[in-house]
Amino acid sequence: MSVGPAGGAGPTTHLNGEEEDMTVTAPPPVGIDPMSLPAVAQKRKARVARRLVMPALIFSIILTQIPFLLAIVFSTLNWNQLRPDRIQFNWFANYLVVFTGPDFLPSLISTVTITGSSVILSLLFGLVFALLLDRSFRGQALARTLVITPFLVMPAAAALIWKWSMLDANVGMVNWALELVGLPAVAWNTEFPIVTVIMMLTWQYTPFFMLILLAGLQSQSREVLEAASVDGAGPVRTFQWMTLPHLRQYIEIATLLGSIMMLQVFDPIAIMTKGTGGTKTLSYLLYERAFIGLDVGEAAAFGVVTVVLTIVTTTIILRSLFSVFIEGGKR
Amino acid sequence: MRSLRSTLITTFTWILVALFFFPILWMVFTAFKSEADAGSIPPKFIVDLTLQQFEAVFNRGMGYYLLQSTLASVGSTLIVLALAIPAAYGLSIRPIKKVQDVLFFFISTRFMPVAAIILPLFLILKTIGGLDNIVTLVLLYTAINLPIAIWMMRSFFSEVPLEIIEAAQIDGANLRTELVRVVLPIVLPGIAAVALISFIFAWNEYFIATLVTTVNARTTPPFLVSFVDGRGQFLAVLSAASTLAVLPVVIAGWAAQKQLVRGLAMGAVK
């Protein structure tokens, strides 16, 4: 597979060569091979394409790269906001603070713990919901609609409702339900802040996993499943040997995209825990450094290190996402 | 026997769905209670419903914040479409060199944590007087949504058979008519998905809004937080404000579930 120009080398039928499975639905082109067009036309096309891409590219560069370049510059300065008259170049002193100080590593661990647990839980709940909602039963459409709703709810509103209405130690519904079945009340927000964040994230992202897995289940061939059933395979074996392997690709896509989204989690931390109890994720740490701390240089250095780390991680994630696409395309 | 098991599974499904949906249901229910009823333990399931919380919410100026949210999300969605459709089309009609690099550049900007560049951004905005301005939010949300929009749009364009476009070119259609008359109608559902996702992200965005706006350009999410009041009861009024805040996106998402799935998976799932 290839994304882009290399795909045009062969007689591909598509705007780009990425999705080979599409050749099934579209017949091969008759007589027009793009590469056989005169070179002049090709050049003209390239120029047109570049002109179409430029506005978006320039816009993106101005709004995202200039602040980042500034962050790199700031990160080499000794710049305290209380003393704006004494800004000095100080090489890598700020980076030394990032790597030897007490903040960065715990924050990285928090981010990985919160993201990891929430992804695994969302995946499990998402799979359960997808399997249950794939059956046909009365009100199936309504049930699906209700289940996707948490993903649509504004995260700030969800965090507020969870914190004050669901998990509050005194008037929260969760504690009321616990007492109903004879369990002691729990001071969720103060004693288990990390659990509250994971609960809330799991609740929000389960629909996302469910939607992708459901799409996977529905793309499974009914005939094959019926054949398996006729051959005497029980539901458990059918699930283990047929459904699960089929779902693998969808599980991978959901996990990768879900992780990328959750790695940046900020809203529930800011609203529910303020970074207490092991919930100070990288996003929250950066915010604290930038707006509560006064050291611009250090804050910028934390930012630069986080960006490099994120870009490396997400590039690996995206490359494997592409390999998912490749496998999918070759099927 | 078989139907009994089926009934059991269906019942189990509904119990799970009800539990899962409960926080939202409870939020809407609480919004119609008085503060005294909302804060009572054990919780009251039968109460006199009242609209007084919604009245209170609007008296505190929620209308203005909803308007700012609308401006920011609709404005940025329109610019996203205006930039992403041509760009994705440009990346789809063949020979730009390094299409893959351009795509990776776009998508990597989306995954760069906003928190990492928020300080320089803030200082730039402060210097040029762009703080607390709705145009700033529109532009920032555009920058955030643009990468995913281009990525998604490209996956929709890639399904347009090349011969349709080539046929249009042979007919002598110029680029604009080719794009508008031939290609756009085919990818219209994709455009709807892109618009929906952009709108949802912008409407729900909290982090940037809370930092670069104070009064004039304040949107709904940071406004909601101001309902938390250390001195008195606020559950009912908070629930009323939250209900209003989530309504537009929830309704839009319910109405366009199919587009949502494709959009969320960035076109990876058909």
DSSP string covering A142-167, please? HHHHHHHHHHHS-HHHHHHHIIIIIS
Asked if B151 is an interface residue toward chain A (Cβ–Cβ < 8 A), one would say no
- For residues B149 and B194, the answer to whether their CB atoms sit within 8 Å is yes
Cα–Cα distance measured from residue A92 to residue A89, given in angstroms and rounded to the nearest whole number: 9
Q: What is the DSSP letter of B44?
A: P
- Min Cα separation B60/chain A (Å): 17
B163 and A264 within 8 Å at the Cβ level: the answer is no
Least confident among B19-23, B92-96, B170-174, B254-258: B92-96
Q: What is the pTM of this model?
A: 0.86
DSSP A1: -
Chain A CA closest to residue B92: A15
Residue B138 confidence (pLDDT) above 60: yes
What would the pLDDT profile of A209-231 be if each residue is shown by its tens digit? 999 999 889 888 777 777 877 78
Instruction: Output the six-digit token pair for B165.
Output: 């476009």
**CB distance B221–A157 less than 8 Å?**
yes
Cα(A13)–Cα(A28) distance, rounded to whole angstroms? 6
The β-bridge partners of A14 are: B161
Residue A295 DSSP one-character state: B
Q: Measured between CB atoms, which of A67, A148, A155 is closest to B204?
A: A155
Q: What is the pLDDT of residues A138-170, one digit of tens each?
A: 899 999 999 999 999 999 999 999 999 999 888
Q: Average pLDDT of chain B?
A: 87
Percent of chain A with pLDDT over 90: 43
Helix (H), strand (E), coil (C) string for B172-193: CCCHHHHHHHHHHHHHHHHHHH
Cβ–Cβ of B166/A66 closer than 8 Å? Answer: no
Contacts of A49 in chain B (CB under 8 A): 90-91, 93-96
Q: pLDDT tier at A104 (50, 70, 90 boundaries)?
A: very high
Set of chain A residues whose Cβ sits within 8 Å of the Cβ of B163: 13, 26, 29-30, 32
Give the pLDDT of residue A121. 98
Chain B within 8 Å of A60 (Cβ-Cβ)? Answer: yes
Which stretch of A133-147, A161-175, A277-291, B107-121 has the lowest confidence by average pLDDT? B107-121
Q: Could you tell me if B197 lies within 8 Å of chain A, comparing CB atoms?
A: no
At A220 the pLDDT is 81
Q: Do B95 and A46 touch (CB under 8 A)?
A: yes
Q: Name the residue facing B115 among A26, A176, A286 (closest C-beta).
A: A286
Is A18 within 8 Å of B158 when comparing Cβ atoms?
A: yes
Cβ pair A133:B13 closer than 8 A: yes
User: At B80, which amino acid appears?
Assistant: V
* Neighbour count for residue A280 (Cβ, 10 Å): 23
State percent of chain A over pLDDT 70: 85
Tokens matching residue B7: 């009934």
Query: Which of B96, B142, B146, B152 would best serve as a mutation to test chain A binding (most A beta carbons within 10 A)?
Result: B96
Chain A residues touching residue B250 (CB < 8 angstroms):
149, 152-153
Judge residue A113's burial from the number of C-beta atoms within 10 Å of its C-beta, 0-12 exposed, 13-18 middle, 19 or more buried: middle
